[in-house]
Structure 1
Amino acid sequence: MKRHEIVTAFKKASASQSAGQDCVEVAHTADGGRAVQDSKNRDGGLQFYAPSGWAAFIDGVKAGVFGG
């Protein structure tokens, strides 16, 4: 199994689905990381994040580091 192999379907945040907004979509990768794509431009490429990088991002979101 390749580390960047996508093992789940891409999923949008529930908040963006209910508001009818486009945003990013996230899928799990074989190594426990995540793949991210733009929901408005799915052919525009992917970004891959290692498990530790994704965990740090989620921790930052929960802590309000990004001002949201």
Structure 2
Amino acid sequence: MPVALPVALGGAMCGVLLTSVGSVVAMTGWNDPASWLLSPMTYWPLWAVALGAATLAYRLRRRGACRACGLSG
């Protein structure tokens, strides 16, 4: 499997998750702290950051050898 496919999908999911959380919060206007803390959507940004970190780590681990110096990633 090419490295670009999971990296692109992981990056897209990070953007989708962060955008969807922002739009849901803006549409619902949650002002009650209890409803915000008890909602599963509260933790989507944390999951998006973790997915982004895992995607970056995968990309760095799977990159090939440097063309200039020949060292592998």
Give the TM-score band, short-chain normalised.
under 0.3
TM-score scaled by length of structure 2 = 0.23
Larger Rg belongs to: 2
TM-score by length of 1: 0.24
Which structure dedicates a bigger proportion of its chain to helix?
2
